[in-house]
Every structure is written in C-alpha cells, then in structure tokens.
Amino acid sequence: MSEIFEIVKKNGKKRLGVLKTAHGIVETPNLMFVATQASVKAMSAKDLFDWGIQFLITNTYHLYLRPGLEIIKNAGGVHKFMGWERTLFSDSGGFQIFSLSKLRKFKDNGVIFQSHIDGSYHEFTPENNVDMQRVLGTDVMMVLDECMEYPVTFEYAKHSVKRTLDWAKRAREQFLKTSPIYGYKQYQFGIIQGSIFENLREYCSKELQKVDFDGYAMGGVAIGESKDYIRKVIDMGDRIMPNDKPRYLMGVGEEDDIKYAVEKGFDLFDCVVPTRNARNGALFTEKGKILIKNAKYKNDFSPVEEGCNCHLCKNYTRAYLHHLFKSKEMLAGILATEHNINYYMRLMKKIRGSI
C-alpha cells in the first residue's frame, strides 16, 4: 500500500492510477514537464496551471547553485518562489553533477563538484541533499544517486550500485529524522541504478525496497545507450519494481518509449523532449514530427496541426512560425513550446484513456 498512490485500474501490466500530494492529484500515467531552474523554459507557471498541467519537476543542483537555498527558503519554498500551485517533484541533482559540473570527486561522505556557473566547489551528501529538498519544499524528492555514464563495466556498475544503495539508506534516515519546513507532507522516492545489467538493477531494487520508499524510479536510462538497451531496462520494471508504489522512469520522453513503458507498467515520466524540441523547431503532431525551419513550410498557411486547440494552432500558420524561427524571434520558441506541451498533455490523456 502506498500513502500517495492508488491504482484505479489495471489492464495487463498497464496501470491507471492517481498520485496524491499536498498540492493536488496527478492522474497517471503522466509526464512531468521540466522546470530545471524553477521555470519551464518559455512558459509561465500560471499558464501551465490554467492549461491543467498537474505536475512539474525541478532540480536541486540548479536551485542550490542559483538562486541558492536561502532565497528559496525566504520565498517559502519553490512552489511559492515560482508561483506553481500543483504537485512538484525535485530531482536530487545526481544526474546534473554527472552531466554538467566540471569536476566530480567521490568522498566517503558524498560527492564534491565544481559549479558549471562559476567553478566554485560544493559538496553534496545524501544527508545535506535531503535537507536541501526540505528547503525546496517539493512534494516528492528524489534521493541522491550516482549516475554512471554509458557504457560502464559490470565491475564499475556493481561498485556504483553499492554506493547508490549506501546513499539511499542514509538519505532515507535523514528524511525520517527531519520534518517538512512549510507545514505540508513531502515524500521520497528511491532510484534504481545498475546500468544495463539486469541482476544489478534487480539487486538494487530489492535493497531499496527494504529501505521502504514512497515510490521507485528507474534512473540512468536514456543517457546514450541504444533504444534496444533502453527497452531492455524498461522490460525489467514490472518484474523488479513493487506493484503498489508509483513507478517512475526518469528522463524518458520519446513518445514511443513512453507508450512502451506504460505497456510495461510504468506510471511517471519526465523529459525535456517536448520543450527542447520545441525551441529547436521540432513540433509533434499526430501525423509525425514537423521540422518547421524546413523551407517547405515557408509558404504553408495551414496550422501546425489541424484540430489542435493550442495557442499556436488556433492563431498562427506554419509559414508564420517558420518565419519566426528563421528571424530568431522569441515568439518562435514560445509558440512551439505551447504546442508541444499541449501535444504531450493530449498524448498522456490518450494513453490513460487506452487503459
């Protein structure tokens, strides 16, 4: 049983569920748009709220470095800081330490890294990372994990999983020892690592379940490995992850992967795919991806997607959006992001409808 998650319906491995936090409900399967620096790029939280977006995810690494936790605390948490009133997850920053920071050195206690902004040195430990996420006040926090690169040797992966597990235990202890700052409950998810090695992933999951988290995530996926390997890890999910807790596939956002993972019993997703593609001029439609900078759209006065109800498709043409991108107008990224967010909301709704 899970305090925050209820499975409403099962169909094969597919699960229709509801995640409940102090800031509202999330119908699952569902995807979080990414507000790395307390902002979904080009979008106002108020608009996202009005469109019915149910949750977002922000990032401890980024917010810790800028604006800094003191500011977030003075604001009363990230929700208030960024004006977001619904459910908010936070990633621990483990992945960003691995992908962004200039130096990464493991110490007994945790990891020392250099800020990608100003080169200053910082230390994250499983414990201080929980404290940080208490300050963020996010509804669901992720534990600090080691994100391995891909590929790694089995030996390295084994060693790394040991560290991730040690950290997870310490993070849970810290979580249970501390209290929310802003008067509402927070939850904590464990992260299953193990690269593409099934026995490591299985071991990691089992050990994490002994710790007993509020939910479980599959981490270290879609970081450069082939689609086959992504699918291989997704395939493990239903077998190695608990049934009664939310299952979160981190960093996966391609439509086909999401659909595949829902089939295999995953509930939660997050990805920059919709927003980053938008800013690069790639728009998702039911008939496929439109690369709007392509010259063939120069003279195309139809909407990006017929029947789409978004601000872009209701008011502007492909030719206009093409022009905005070619002219490097800010409005290009704004309109495209609105569309892709709308597309993904529809996609997730359709996926839920199919269960």
- Positions at the binding site: 91-95, 145, 193, 220, 308, 310, 313, 339
- Residue 62's SS3 state is helix
Site for a second copy in 330-349 (CB under 8 A): 330-331, 333-335
Q: Which of 6, 198, 255, 329 binds a second copy (CB under 8 A)?
A: 329
71 counts as binding a second copy under rule CB under 8 A = yes
Nearer to a second copy among residue 272 and residue 319 (C-beta): 319
Does residue 282 bind a second copy (CB under 8 A)? no
Q: What is the largest CA-CA distance in the chain?
A: 62
Dihedral of the CA atoms 244, 166, 119, 153 (nearest 10)? -90
Pick the catalytic residue: 139, 214, 267, 270?
270
CB of 184 to a second copy, least distance (A): 19
Coarse DSSP helix, strand, coil percentages of the chain, rounded to the nearest 5 percent:
40, 20, 35
Question: Is 228 a known active-site residue?
Answer: no
**What's phi and psi for 326, nearest 5 deg?**
-60, -35
Can residue 102 be called a binding residue for a second copy (CB under 8 A)?
no
Q: Which is nearer to a second copy, 125 or 337 (CB)?
A: 337
270 is catalytic: yes
Under the criterion CB under 8 A, does residue 165 sit at the interface with a second copy? no
Q: Does 99 bind a second copy (CB under 8 A)?
A: no
* Beta carbons of 165 and 157 less than 8 angstroms apart: no
Question: Which residues are known binding-site members for substrate?
Answer: 91-95, 145, 193, 220
In degrees and rounded to multiples of 5, residue 57 shows phi and psi of -130, 135
- List the one residue from 323, 346, 347, 355 that touches a second copy (CB under 8 A): 323
Closest CB 83 distance from a second copy, rounded Å: 5
Helices (H), 107-153: 126-136
335: exposed, middle or buried (C-beta count within 10 Å: 0-12, 13-18, 19+)?
buried
Binding mask 25-44 for a second copy (x = CB under 8 A): ------------xxx-xxxx
For 76, phi then psi, to 5°, come to 95, 25
The answer to whether 333 and 326 are in contact (CB under 8 A) is no
Q: Is the peptide bond before 274 cis (omega within 30 degrees of 0)?
A: no
Least Cβ distance, residue 174 to a second copy (angstroms):
27
Our finding on whether 23 is near a second copy (CB under 8 A) is: no
Alpha-carbon gap, residue 139 to 54, rounded angstroms: 12
Minimum distance, C-beta of residue 126 to a second copy, in the bound complex (Å):
26
Which residue shows structure tokens 């391609």?
Answer: 254
Look at the block and give the residue holding tokens 């800020």.
115
Please say which residue, 41 or 163, places its beta carbon nearer to a second copy. 41
**In angstroms, rounded to a whole number, what is the distance separating the alpha carbons of residues 161 and 154?**
10
Give the x-and-dash track for 286-305 against a second copy (CB under 8 A). ------------xx-x----
How many residues touch a second copy under the rule CB under 8 A: the total is: 39
The residues that bridge with 16 in the sheet, in sequence order, are: 9
Binding part of the chain for a second copy, among 67-75, 158-166, 208-216, 346-354 by CB under 8 A, reads 67-75
- The nearer residue to a second copy, 4 or 336, going by C-beta atoms, is 336
SS3 84: coil
Round to whole Å and give the CA distance between 346 and 355. 15
Of 81, 95, 216, 284, the residue at the interface with a second copy (CB under 8 A) is 81
Distance CA 77, CA 81 (A): 6
Using CB under 8 A as the criterion, which residues of the chain lie in contact with a second copy when the complex forms? 37-39, 41-46, 62, 66-67, 70-71, 74-75, 81-83, 298-299, 301, 311, 315-317, 319-320, 322-324, 326-327, 329-331, 333-335
User: Any idea which residues carry the catalytic annotation?
Assistant: 91, 270
